Amino acid sequence: MRQTQPSLDLLIALDALLEEGSVSGAALRLRLSEPAMSRTLGRIRRAMGDPILVRSGRAMVPTPRALAVQAEVRSLVEAARRVFASPAEPDLATLRRDFAILASDAVIAAIAAPLLTRTVRQAPGVTLRFVPEGQTDVRALRDGLADLEVTVIQDAAPETRVEPLAVDRPVGLVRAGHPLLEGPITPERYADADHLLVTRRGRLAGPIDRALGELGLRRRVVGTVPAFTQSLIVLRETDLVGMVGAWQAPEAVAALGLVTFEIPLELPTMEISQAWHPRHDADAAHAWLRATVRQVFAEQPAW
């Protein structure tokens, strides 16, 4: 039997089959009939020496070999499309897109207003959906659940593109008139206060605790909240001490009657970045979004 030779058409079909997980879905995506798609799957199986998709109940599931090559197949198909495509600047006046931006609560509070204002003015047909960070963040870009991630990027997937935007430093945060503000804020006075942490996972220790430990000090963490904006309300109504990035929503902090202060410890800085999947590298509309986010960060006076 003559062996099927690999081709770009087979790669495109394989990419569609693995993305859709069914012959009918891949056929619809590639505008082929189901019998034609079934024949193409047969050619792929002969070329790879693997069944690729197998029946499991009513569904079809990929084989280990299919899962192992899926990312590489997608990369090859996207590279081929970039070769044959002629990227053009998007017509922002007529552009219709829906972008999902995965971001921390603090980043959303800081950039949502200027980013939305700029988007309404430049591209009125574009919708920005801010998505809070969650447990599936590590796969959100790869799986297409988010188009862009803007936060402190940690443990990014190997293929993810990451662009640094700003370097931030932590500062303390309390209500106006807080007793801690009535004299020099020393490490001892800082450690003696009751503290509130912002953490999605309920962690009770971090860089501040390590820095205090090096001085033989320990603070009391009274509680945690999962979001930065929630901490602002709690701090306004209590004598708890919080922490915030120096750049994070200074207008909101001031409007709520809160005051920042320098933490008397040597603490690491935080790098805010934007990240995206390489499938968007050649997408002119996505490039416009990245450039707009970059401009918003550059124009923030606190950075």
Can you give the residue ranges of every domain in the chain? 8-84, 97-168+271-298, 170-268
Give CATH superfamily name and number for 170-268: Periplasmic binding protein-like II (3.40.190.10)
Question: What's the confidence (pLDDT) of residue 138?
Answer: 64
Question: What's the confidence (pLDDT) of residue 1?
Answer: 43
The tens place of each residue's pLDDT in the chain, 303 residues long, gives 445 566 889 999 999 999 999 999 999 999 999 999 999 999 999 999 999 999 888 888 999 999 999 999 999 998 888 777 666 678 899 999 999 999 988 899 889 999 999 999 999 999 999 998 765 566 889 888 899 999 988 878 888 999 999 998 999 999 999 999 999 999 999 999 999 999 877 777 889 999 999 999 999 999 999 888 899 999 999 999 999 888 776 777 888 889 999 999 999 998 999 999 999 998 999 999 999 999 999 887 654
Question: What's the confidence (pLDDT) of residue 303?
Answer: 40
DSSP-H helix ranges across the chain: 8-20, 23-30, 34-48, 64-84, 105-122, 137-140, 187-192, 207-214, 228-237, 250-255, 284-298
One fold for 97-168+271-298 and 170-268: yes
Q: Which residues of 134-170 are buried (b: 16+ CB within 10 A; e: fewer)?
A: eeebeebbbeeebbbbbbebeeeeeebeeeebbebeb
Question: What's the confidence (pLDDT) of residue 247?
Answer: 79
Tell me how far apart the alpha carbons of residues 6 and 30 are, in angstroms, rounded to a whole number: 18
Per the structure block, which two tokens stand in for 214?
């090096």
CATH of domain 8-84: 1.10.10.10
CATH of domain 97-168+271-298: 3.40.190.10
Look up the pTM and report it: 0.66
**Which residue's entry shows tokens 């082929």?**
32
